[in-house]
């Protein structure tokens, strides 16, 4: 009976899709079961479809609605919250073959893209025309714009340039029943009706399938120049962060690495970071006179207690410093067998309390937790390292991960700054939103997806 | 019977509000019937309430739900689309007495305010702490933050700093049934669940009552320096706008005034603007070296055909130039007896076509239509001047106003860049959104306001 249904589903899908767009071999479809998050349940997909056109996606959604089969949209599956994990018997809707850049328009400073375009491909293509697409998640060489929109991704640039949401002007969306809806605009401004564009950003594929996006671009800024500042404690580093932001500075990057992270990066890549320091701040400016701006920022670091402030001489040196930061997550992942990456953002004035709290949690549970942070945003990534073959250590890892979110909420923060909710944090979303918030969010979900077929089991 | 109901309504409202917060004198309540838009129907309110606390607002909404009475939220009623117009028998919910600035936080760069805070009051208060709240609608000395959030207001700053929406991080909202909901965050980043904060911005009081807002602030930029460039045609001025934006410039202001507007401003304020020119561009930078940036921009104007480029010598001269622009709407209003201000935004590459089209519409209908525009955003404000005592001229005014919106949509634009939909443009909203878009927007409205009591007859 179940096999018969799967056969019918495949047949119905094939009626409107090219043969090679419907994958049913279980060895292949199994590879589409999950994204990069730990501790997230994942089911077995019935079928994986890889549409190339809007009409293909419409056919998939019409079929899914008729047969009431769940649909899990996927990009590059680099997400960290299980939002792209398959559910049993679902259609995995992979959008990676819809990967065309349809338009880059320097006068209007927009790009029009399909969802499967890789972030780095777009970034390079617009750079050739003197334009800049800021959002730069760590996975930018692999992750897709559609995935970035689904999760509301951030990156290193956010302290100056904001997150993905701020660059999405308009969308074409295929609704649950296969109808096509246009949202937003191609213009710089527009307030015609409710902002459905923004509603879709961060909705993790639970409201509809984004099949086209109008993105805002900025002119290419001057090359950024970076400095590194060494601190004897995380507290002094966080004091510097507050002083920098209170002082009216607008760095293009303001990152923090704790001692665990520094050592992990050195172990992996022999970067020669100063292991005796307790925290590093990495700052950069992409202004007209970055050296002058760095000098002013460096002074604030020194006043806050930095033991050394080392500005890069040029763009190449700057890039090396940033490389150390970019390796942080990978390096921490190599330390323990398994890692869970948290993503708690707090008001930046609470960054010191957050880091102290994480250290206390690590001690309490007897675990290594390295922290790197988009410090200027107050967005921390505590990385819990553990041996997943040890049940007790796994339990402690999960508990410490949760306690970190609880700490973040207590400090006036949010459980997720840029990674999303997915499966991993859905119990916590309810705690953050409260019952009225959850009820209204569910009401919106029901309005767009009355049958509950769009990425079920995520967010709520 | 009707009188009895009105009596019951007043009595029920007074049970949870101070005596002076409930206004029933028809001579007084009549003054709350409408905002500043022309051609918009307005009913007679049953009562005006002026709450001072969140609990007051909750009481009003609970009462309205129980008695199924419509509620029309109002700020300073400076809106231009009739979104704050009363409906017959409604409760006008004026939020102007909830006017406290609760918090200004320089480290986290946020302000927390009640909805009745006047834009200019907030702007000055944050400026004292070295911070900047960019959104600056023309009515900024009177309009309230709650009204700005309701309409999604813009202003002169948007070409560099964006609109109100980009500065709203979190909200407290009283729902139709009186329950309190929190949305968003106090942190720089956050992607926990659907973005309900953004959904409320521009919703014109149709989804709930904003009673508190967390606003993002920026550091105070350097003082801006302006220039004025004179052009022999609107076409050459628009060519300059495109060249400036394509050239990667980021002016803090880029405004256009057509000949009609120039003359109106001179007539009113004797500003000595050059009446022989067909179009003026006004540009400014608030960068580290604005004179150098203006020089580069001025060259692009000259190449595009400007007959004169006059940079201001200092901040005082710059302010005088901006004053001419700020007077434009008032000056045009003084020309005809009555004016209708349109608000069509087009891709900036279509600005020339838009202005040509508006001139053709003015000729076709035999009317004066002056245009000032936030040129860098492609956001035009064609002002239709007419004698409202002349039925035929009034009809022509209304038809030309509509034809301007049609032109904007044809050029890939939107019917409203920053003024909102209200009563004035609700038929046109449906044209812009299309049937699927309207259906989904209505579904959201129903989810938040199942009884349809929140600002009925607006938007849809």
Q: Are B122 and B88 part of one and the same domain?
A: no
- pLDDT tops 80 at residue A377: yes
Higher-confidence position of B334 and B386: B386
ipTM: 0.96
The yes-or-no verdict on residue B232 having pLDDT over 70 is: yes
Q: How confident is the model at residue B85 (pLDDT cuts 50, 70, 90)?
A: very high
CATH code of A249's domain: 3.40.462.10
**Of residues B125 and B322, which shows the higher confidence score?**
B125
**Contacts with A50 (C-beta within 8 Å, 6 or more apart), sequence order:** A20, A21, A22, A23, A94, A96, A97
Residues in chain B closer than 8 A to A110 (CB atoms): 347
pLDDT of A262-277, one tens digit each? 999 999 888 888 888 9
Q: Do A62 and A83 fall within a single domain?
A: yes
Q: Is A346 within 8 Å of chain B by CB? A: yes
Q: Between chains, do A181 and B374 touch, taking CB under 8 Å as contact?
A: no
The CATH number of residue A45's host domain is 3.30.43.10
Cβ-in-10-Å burial (0-12, 13-18, 19+) of B403 comes to middle
Query: Nearest C-alpha of chain A: how many angstroms from B273?
Result: 29
A175 and B436: CB-CB below 8 Å? Answer: yes
User: Strand pairing of B47-49 and B91-94?
Assistant: parallel
Q: Based on the fold, state whether residues A89 and A116 are members of the same structural domain.
A: no
Express as a percent the part of chain B with pLDDT over 70: 98
Chain A partners of B433 at a C-beta cutoff of 8 Å?
Answer: 182, 192-193
Decide if A95 contacts A128 (C-beta within 8 A). Answer: no
| pLDDT value, residue B270 | 84
Shared-domain flag, residues B160 and B261: no
Same domain, residue pair A294 and A387: yes
Answer with the one of B73, B94, B115 that is the final residue of a domain.
B94
Last residue of a domain, one of B293, B319, B345: B319
In this structure, are residues A385 and A339 in contact, taking their beta carbons and an 8 Å threshold? yes
Q: Which residues are within 8 A (CB) of B306 and not within 5 positions of it... i.e. 6 or more apart?
A: B229, B230, B231, B236, B237, B240, B281, B298
State mean pLDDT over B67-74: 98
Q: Is the pLDDT of residue A75 over 80?
A: yes
Q: Please check whether residue A81 lies inside any domain of the structure.
A: yes
Instruction: Tell me, yes or no, whether B324 lies in a domain.
Output: no
Indicate whether A451 belongs to any domain: no
Q: Which residues of A touch B349 (CB under 8 A)?
A: 105, 107-108
Q: Do the domain assignments include residue B376?
A: yes
Which of A105, A158, A437 is opposite residue B189, by nearest beta carbon? Answer: A158
Over range A154-175, report the average pLDDT: 96
pLDDT at A5: 67
- Chain centroid to CA B207: 18
Q: Which B-chain residues 325-344 have CB contacts (< 8 A) with chain A?
A: none
Q: How far is A1 from chain B (nearest CA, A)?
A: 36
Average pLDDT, chain A: 95
Same domain, B235 and B312: yes
b (16+ CB within 10 A) / e for B272-298: ebeeebbbbbbbbbbbeebeebbeebb
Note which residues in 374-403 of chain A have CB less than 8 A from chain B.
374, 376-379
Query: B448 or B337, which is more confident?
Result: B448
Interface test with B, best of A191, A378, A436 (most B CBs within 10 A): A191
- Say if A420 falls within a structural domain: no
Q: At B245, which CATH number?
A: 3.30.70.3450
Q: Both B349 and B404 in a single domain?
A: yes
Is B139 a member of any domain? yes
User: Domain for residue A130, yes or no?
Assistant: yes
Average pLDDT over residues A374-391: 95
CB contact under 8 A, B109 and A245: yes
Among the ranges given (A320-334, B134-148, B377-391), the one the predictor scored with the smallest mean pLDDT: A320-334
Same domain? A214 vs A69: no
Residue count of chain B, please give it: 460
pLDDT for position A326: 87
CB B297 within 8 A of CB B251: yes
Does A45 touch chain B if contact means CB atoms closer than 8 Å?
no
Mean pLDDT of A41-47: 96
Asked if A377 lies within 8 A of B189 by C-beta distance, the reply is yes
What mean pLDDT is predicted for residues B193-218? 98
pLDDT of A269: 85
Task: Please give, rounded to a whole number of angstroms, the shortest distance from the CA of A222 to a CA of chain B.
Answer: 11
Interatomic CA distance for residues B405 and B411, integer angstroms: 10
Banded model confidence at residue B39, pLDDT cuts 50, 70, 90: confident
Q: Is the pLDDT of residue B2 over 80?
A: no
- B109 and B11 in a common domain: no
Q: Does B272 touch chain A (CB under 8 A)?
A: no
What CA–CA distance (Å, rounded) separates B52 from B17? 9
Cα–Cα distance, A194 to B447 (Å, whole number): 13
Q: Give the end of a domain, one of A193, A219, A245.
A: A219
| Per-position b or e across B317-345, b if 16+ CB within 10 A of its CB | bbeebbebbbbbbebbbebbebbbbbbbb
pLDDT confidence band for A329 (50 / 70 / 90): confident
Asked if A261 contacts A275 with a C-beta cutoff of 8 angstroms, the reply is: no
Per-residue confidence (pLDDT) for residue B330, from 0 to 100: 86
pLDDT reported for residue A39: 82
Provide the greatest CA pair distance for chain B: 72
CB pairs under 8 A between A and B: 264
Give contacts of A183 with chain B, Cβ < 8 Å. 437
Q: What percent of chain B has pLDDT over 90?
A: 90
Q: What is the mean pLDDT of residues B419-435?
A: 95
Domain count, chain A: 3
Q: Is residue A428 part of a domain?
A: no
Distance from CA of B148 to the nearest CA of A (A): 12
- % of chain A exceeding 90 in pLDDT: 90
Rg (CA), chain B: 22
Residue A1 confidence (pLDDT): 36
Give the model confidence (pLDDT) of B289-321 as tens digits.
999 999 999 999 999 999 999 999 998 999 988
Q: Determine phi and psi for A12, rounding to 5 degrees.
A: -65, -40
Mutate to test the interface with B, among A170, A185, A192 (most CBs of B within 10 A): A192
pLDDT for residue A128 is more than 80: yes
| Cβ contacts of B250 within 8 Å, gap of 6 or more | A218, A219, B160, B285, B287
A61 and A121 inside one domain: no
- Contact (CB<8Å) B219/A250: yes
Does the beta-carbon distance from A108 to B348 stay under 8 Å?
yes
- Domain housing A41: 2-94
Q: What is the DSSP string of A246-292?
A: HTT---SEEEEEEHHHHHHHHHHH-----TT-SEEEEEEE-SSSHHH
pLDDT level of residue A132 (50, 70, 90 thresholds): very high
- Please name the helix (run of DSSP H) or strand (run of DSSP E) that holds residue A55, with its range, or none: helix A54-67
Same domain (yes/no): A395, A279: yes
Chain A (150-189) residues lying within 8 Å, Cβ to Cβ, of chain B: 151-152, 154, 158-159, 163, 165-166, 175, 179-183, 185-189
Whether residue A281 sits in one domain with residue A367: yes
B430 neighbourhood in chain A, CB within 8 Å: none
| Radius of gyration over every alpha carbon of chain A, rounded to an integer in angstroms | 22
Has residue A354 got a pLDDT over 90?
yes
Q: Which of A440, A446, A450, A455 to mutate to test the interface with B (most CBs of B within 10 A)?
A: A440
Tell me if A437 and B196 make a contact (CB, 8 A cut-off): yes
pLDDT in tens, A1-43: 355 467 899 999 999 999 999 999 999 999 999 999 988 999 9
């Amino acid at each position: 009976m179940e096999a018969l249904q799967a056969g019918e589903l495949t047949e119905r899908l094939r009626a409107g899709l090219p043969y090679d767009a419907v994958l049913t071999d279980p060895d292949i479809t199994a590879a589409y079961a999950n994204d990069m998050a730990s501790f997230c349940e994942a089911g077995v997909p019935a079928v994986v479809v890889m549409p190339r056109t809007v009409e293909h996606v419409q056919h998939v959604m019409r079929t899914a609605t008729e047969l009431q089969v769940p649909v899990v949209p996927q990009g590059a599956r680099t997400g960290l919250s299980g939002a792209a994990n398959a559910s049993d018997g679902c259609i995995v809707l992979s959008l990676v073959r819809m990967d065309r850049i349809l338009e880059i328009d320097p006068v209007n400073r927009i790009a029009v893209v399909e969802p499967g375009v890789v972030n780095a491909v777009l970034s390079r293509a617009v750079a050739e025309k003197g334009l800049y697409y800021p959002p730069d998640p760590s996975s930018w060489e692999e992750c897709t714009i559609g995935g970035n929109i689904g999760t509301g991704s951030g990156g290193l640039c956010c302290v100056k340039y904001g997150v993905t949401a701020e660059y999405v002007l308009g969308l074409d969306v295929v609704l649950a029943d296969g109808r096509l809806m246009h949202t937003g605009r191609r213009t710089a401004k527009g307030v015609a009706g409710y902002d459905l564009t923004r509603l879709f950003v961060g909705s993790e594929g639970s409201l509809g399938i984004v099949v086209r996006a109008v993105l805002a671009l900025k002119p290419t800024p001057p090359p950024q120049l970076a400095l590194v500042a060494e601190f004897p404690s995380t507290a002094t580093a966080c004091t510097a962060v507050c002083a920098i932001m209170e002082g009216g500075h607008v760095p293009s990057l303001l990152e923090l690495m704790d001692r665990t992270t520094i050592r992990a990066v050195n172990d992996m890549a022999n970067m020669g970071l100063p292991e005796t320091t307790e925290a590093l701040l990495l700052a950069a400016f992409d202004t007209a006179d970055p050296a002058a701006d760095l000098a002013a920022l460096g002074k604030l670091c020194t006043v806050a207690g930095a033991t050394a402030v080392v500005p890069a001489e040029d763009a190449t040196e700057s890039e090396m410093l940033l490389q150390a930061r970019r390796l942080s997550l990978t390096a921490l992942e190599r330390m323990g067998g398994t890692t869970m990456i948290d993503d708690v953002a707090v008001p930046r004035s609470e960054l010191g309390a957050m880091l102290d709290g994480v250290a206390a949690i690590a001690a309490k549970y007897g675990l290594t937790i390295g922290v790197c942070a988009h410090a200027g945003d107050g967005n921390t990534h505590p990385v819990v390292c553990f041996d997943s073959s040890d049940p007790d250590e796994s339990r402690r890892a999960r508990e410490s991960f949760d306690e970190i979110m609880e700490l973040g909420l207590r400090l006036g923060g949010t459980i997720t700054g840029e990674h999303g909710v997915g499966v991993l944090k859905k119990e916590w979303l309810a705690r953050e939103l409260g019952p009225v918030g959850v009820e209204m969010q569910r009401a919106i979900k029901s309005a767009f997806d009355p049958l509950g077929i769009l990425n079920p089991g995520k967010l709520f």
